[in-house]
């Protein structure tokens, strides 16, 4: 497991506060990113406020990030440790 820190809401009317949690280890086709910047957009705010009635708390908003690759899985060929990368809101794409 990878220790991580984010800012989380504990319920729909709480402010974001520092929150420690764990991420799964890097899988064979995944990269670990040391996040440098994170955007919080309108959909994150809707999610934190549970306006779509599907929020699981604690909720850590911010699904658009920029950072550096810290570790790569054994099957990763497109990125290397140290690469500057970005992640948008669409992940796990079939790329077609």
Among 3.40.50.1370, 3.90.180.10, 3.40.640.10, 3.90.1150.50, what is the CATH number of 2-87? Answer: 3.90.180.10
Q: What is the predicted pLDDT for the residue at 53? A: 97
pLDDT, tens digit, 9 for 90 and up, residues 19-67:
999 999 999 999 999 999 998 889 999 999 999 999 999 999 998 899 9
Higher pLDDT, 41 or 10: 10
Distance of CA 36 to the CA centre of its chain: 12
Contact 66, 85 (CB under 8 A): yes
* pLDDT of 88: 82
């Amino acid at each position: 497991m990878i220790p991580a820190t984010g800012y989380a809401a504990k319920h729909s009317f709480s402010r974001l506060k520092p929150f420690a949690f764990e991420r799964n280890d890097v899988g064979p086709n995944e990269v670990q990113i040391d996040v440098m910047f994170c955007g919080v957009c309108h959909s994150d705010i809707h999610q934190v406020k549970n306006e779509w009635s599907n929020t699981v708390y604690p909720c850590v908003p911010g699904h658009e990030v920029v950072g550096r690759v810290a570790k790569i899985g054994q099957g990763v060929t497109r990125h290397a440790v140290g690469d500057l990368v970005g992640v948008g809101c669409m992940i796990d794409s079939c790329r077609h």
